[in-house]
Amino acid sequence: MKMMIFNAMVVIQIVLSLTSYLPQIVKLIRRKKSDDISLTTWIISLLDFTTYQVLLILGDAGLILNLINALQIIQIVAVIILICLYREKRR
């Protein structure tokens, strides 16, 4: 029973991790504006997850954790690219 709950929680965590960035990505694409989004926050998140990825690799954390974190890094990079792409040039 304990293992079933653990596995269910892992699945929930994976789904939440992989979908948590989608609303921001969709909003950026629809609005084509990013002036109200902090680029600094997203860069710090990228550094955070990249550091964590290195720790996962060095600690031999296993394929699943490495894959989930790597996919989160890809989504963060997508958000950063969209922020830069849609940032209005200041005059």
Is the pLDDT higher at 80 or at 64?
80
Q: Which residues contact 86 (CB under 8 A, 6 or more apart)?
A: 28, 31, 32, 33, 34
CATH of 2-86, one of 1.20.1280.290, 3.30.200.20, 3.90.226.10, 1.10.3720.10: 1.20.1280.290
Question: pLDDT tens for residues 35-68?
Answer: 999 999 999 999 999 999 999 999 988 888 898 8
pLDDT of residue 20: 92
pTM, to two decimals: 0.85
Give dist(CA 27, CA 56) in Å, integer. Answer: 31
Say how far residue 48 (Cα) sits from the centre of its chain: 10
> Among residues 44, 23, 27, which one has the least CA distance to residue 36?
27
